[in-house]
Amino acid sequence: MNTIEERLEKLEKLSDSIKDSDLGIEEAMALFDEGIKLVRGIEKDLDAMEGKIQMLMNQPDEEETEKAGASKSKSKTKKANSAKPELELFNFEPKSVSHE
């Protein structure tokens, strides 16, 4: 599998090809379709990374776990009542693709 960076580079090249050349509509559409597939794959991978980061950041360290001892039930109740994660690193909203 290609890295995110490699796929972003490929996406830039596709975009440049569509903008800079005298492609026929079919060729441009094929490149656009390939670009959309790349974007969706990149978004999926970034979402997975964000989830992993949030999970790691919200894990208590060993020292906190030992200190929590008696107040463990309070913490569980608090987490159960909380709809949002304790730490939100990214608020990523995909940008819409303009059709220029």
Extents of the domains making up the chain: 1-56
Q: How high is the pLDDT of residue 61?
A: 76
Q: How high is the pLDDT of residue 34?
A: 96
Global pTM?
A: 0.56
Q: How high is the pLDDT of residue 30?
A: 95
The beta strands (E) that lie in the chain are given as: none
pLDDT cut 70: percent of the chain above it = 61
Amino acid at 16: D
Burial class (CB in 10 A: 0-12, 13-18, 19+), 76: exposed
Q: Determine the Cα–Cα distance for residues 44 and 38; give it in Å rounded to an integer.
A: 10
Q: Is the pLDDT of residue 79 over 60?
A: no
Residue found under tokens 């929590």: 68
Cα maximum dimension of the chain: 70
Nearest 5°: phi and psi at 56? Answer: -65, -40
